[in-house]
Every structure is written in C-alpha cells, then in structure tokens.
Amino acid sequence: MPLPPSPHAPLTLTGTYFDGQSSRAWPATLEIGTGAALTVTGPAAGAPGPLHWPATALRAEPALPGLRRVIRLPGGGRFETGAVAGVRALETRTRQNRVLGGVRRLEGSWPLTLGATAALGLFVWGFLTYGLPALARAAAAATPVTVLDTFDRESIQLLDTDDFLAPSRLSAARQAELKREFARVGDWAGGGYRYRLLLRDGEPSGAPFALGANAFALPGGTVVMTDQLVALARSDRELMGVLAHETGHVTGRHGLAGVYQGLGLALLGTAVTGDLVGAATFAAAVPSALLQNGYSRRAETEADERAGAYLLRAYGTTRPLRDILARLETEDRAADETSLKAEDPAPDDLLRTHPDTAQRIKHLREIERAAR
C-alpha cells in the first residue's frame, strides 16, 4: 500500500487535461510544489505548451465515490486523475474541502457512522424532550394578545360549526348565575385576559363524538364548560374549582404551549410575526390539540395550585375540586367499561386530558394542609 505524500514534498500527478475550449483530452502530468506546472505528455498535435500557476490557484472538486478526482485550473481547464492520495495532499496544503473531507472519512468508517447516528438520535431525543417544549413555552409567552383573541374566536366558531358543541340547554337564568360566579374567578385570576364563560351542550345529536362532562380553556381566556359537567357537579363550588383550574392554564399559557409543541416549529413563526391570517388558519387546530393532547404534568400541577389558591381564598378548602375530580374518575371508569364492550373508544374528557387523578387529589390536600 503506497504511503501518502509528505505534506512538504512536491506532488506529481498523472492524468488527463481538458482545456475547457474543446472536448479534446490530453494525457498530462501536473507537478505541484510552491507553484503548479502542467505538461502534456506524449505526442499530441496542437497540445498546449507547459502551463504554470500558483498552487493556490488550483481548486479540487469534492470527491465523489467511484469517480476520478478533478482539479479545476485557471482559465476554465480541468485535470482529472486517479491519484486520490495526491489530490488529498493538495487539499491539505491549500486547506480545501476540509468539511467535506471529514464527511468522506465519516462515510468510510462504520464506527464513525454508527457513532454519528447515535449522536444524532440523542440530539433529536434531547430536542424533542427539552428543546421543543422550551421553545414552545417561549413562543406561547411571546404570542400577542390579539392573536390569542383570534385563536379563541376561530376555535369556538369551528367547534360550533362542526357540531362538536350545541347551544346550552340550561336556562338563561342558570347560565347567567354561573357566568356571574365565573366573573369573580376571572377577576381573581387576572393577567389581562378577556375571561368569559361559554356554556354548551357537550352531547349534541349527530356530533362526531361526545365531549360529555368537560371543561377546557382556550388560549385567550375563553373557558368552555358543558351542561354535562354542570349536571355532574353537586355544588357551584365544585364548578368554580374546575374553572379556576382552567384559568390557571390560561395564565400559564399551557394550552398554547402544548399546541405549539404538538404542531411543531413550523407554526411558531405566528408567535413572532403576529400574523392574524396565519393565526386564523392555525386556530383550526387548537380545539383538537387541546382536547386530544392534554397537558404536561408540570402544567397540570401549576393549574391545580392556582385552583387550590382560589378555593382556599373563596371557601377555605380545596375539597370542592377534590370531590368533583373523584366523581369524574368514577364516571371515567364507567365510560371505559362501556366503550370496551361497544368496541368504540370513549372520547377524551376532563380526566383523560389531565393525568394521574389520584396524585392530583393528594396534592390538593397537601396544598390545604400547608395553608393551615
């Protein structure tokens, strides 16, 4: 196996010269030292005489597997050679293709290739686990309020138009009573959001699926609560505990961060540009993302802590939220059994988008004990 040329020794490469003016090919020798001299070898009518250039004027094209190396010459000519080691020495001397040289070495080494693949996999995992959530939280925090209002408006329109929800069947007086109570929750939550409570029937006939006993917050401060959740509650205190929890998601911008994270980086530009047209299009994905993806454990804990703080301030106990969560857990298990028998998965409800109910109830008890 021939040794590679010394980095200081003159290089002599044999190959084929093309002048760039015709398709004629001449066998030639290219000698490279401090300068470069190309000489056509053998008899050839019309062959150019010896050509001279500075060595730094030669440009080695990146190597391609299975092909001869090409050196581009001043004036449009080119020199092709099979002297791979010599061309690599030229690249080293003139500091050319250093990045591509590393790629070639990587391609030629299985250990390096496997190591790079593993490193790439680790990077992707780290980005999806830590980087993307951090970017999503930052984007959510930077999203203008005008965009949040658009998200809410378009999301509600989509939900109502697509028959996911129907007008509430509660009496006007009952709806007004709940909205008055929620106004106090919104005043306490603060943050500059336009809080409003929308009451809807979560089980309209002909709906793609039934939301059932559910409540969810949209990014701009709109909270949707279904008639079925109102029916499940044994007191308005329980409902206000749920609604205080949802306002915690609004002030923490948890839902918006989850939507950004779920839909990926391509949509994060909306947060920076405040593009209302893009926001209207993006809003179409908000309801599905909120109902299907749910919240992270961190976001859930923060919202429960906010709800606990409100309940302690308003009623002196976190029991209302604990009680309705326990009742929802029972309802959820019953729905699971029914859906398994029917081989038709039950739709997401308040518990499905809020993980580990037992731990949440325990944490609410701890919040109350700590406040005493």
Task: Name the residue among 158, 286, 133, 136 with its Cα closest to residue 218.
Answer: 286
pLDDT of the chain, 372 residues: tens digit per residue: 455 555 557 888 889 989 888 888 888 888 888 777 777 776 665 677 788 888 888 888 887 777 899 988 888 899 999 888 888 888 888 788 766 655 666 666 677 678 778 888 888 788 777 887 888 888 888 888 778 888 888 888 877 776 778 999 999 999 999 999 999 999 999 988 999 999 999 888 776 677 889 999 999 999 999 999 999 999 999 999 999 999 999 999 998 888 787 776 555 555 555 555 455 556 655 666 666 556 778 889 999 999 999 999 999 999 999 999 999 988 877 665 655 444 444 444 454 445 588 999 999 999 999 988
- φ/ψ (deg, to 5) at 166: -130, 165
Residue pair 305/251 in contact (Cβ under 8 Å)? The answer is: no
Strand order in the sheet with 222-226: 166-167, 196-201, 222-226, 215-217
The pLDDT of residue 333 is 76
Domain range annotation of the chain: 11-108, 143-371
Q: Which residues pair with 223 in a beta bridge?
A: 197, 217
The pLDDT of residue 36 is 73
Strand order in the sheet with 78-81: 51-54, 35-40, 25-32, 11-18, 78-81, 69-72, 59-60
The pLDDT of residue 194 is 92
- Which one-letter DSSP state was computed for residue 166? E
Query: Domain 11-108 adopts which CATH fold?
Result: PH-domain like (2.30.29)
Q: In sequence order, what E strands does the chain have?
A: 11-18, 25-32, 35-40, 51-54, 59-60, 69-72, 78-81, 166-167, 196-201, 215-217, 222-226
- Which one-letter DSSP state was computed for residue 173? H
This prediction's pTM: 0.64
The pLDDT of residue 340 is 45
The pLDDT of residue 97 is 74
The pLDDT of residue 106 is 61
- Which one-letter DSSP state was computed for residue 205? T
Angle of helix 254-263 relative to helix 286-293, nearest 10 degrees, comes to 100
The pLDDT of residue 108 is 61
The pLDDT of residue 274 is 58
The pLDDT of residue 96 is 80
Residue 227 in 3-state DSSP? Answer: helix
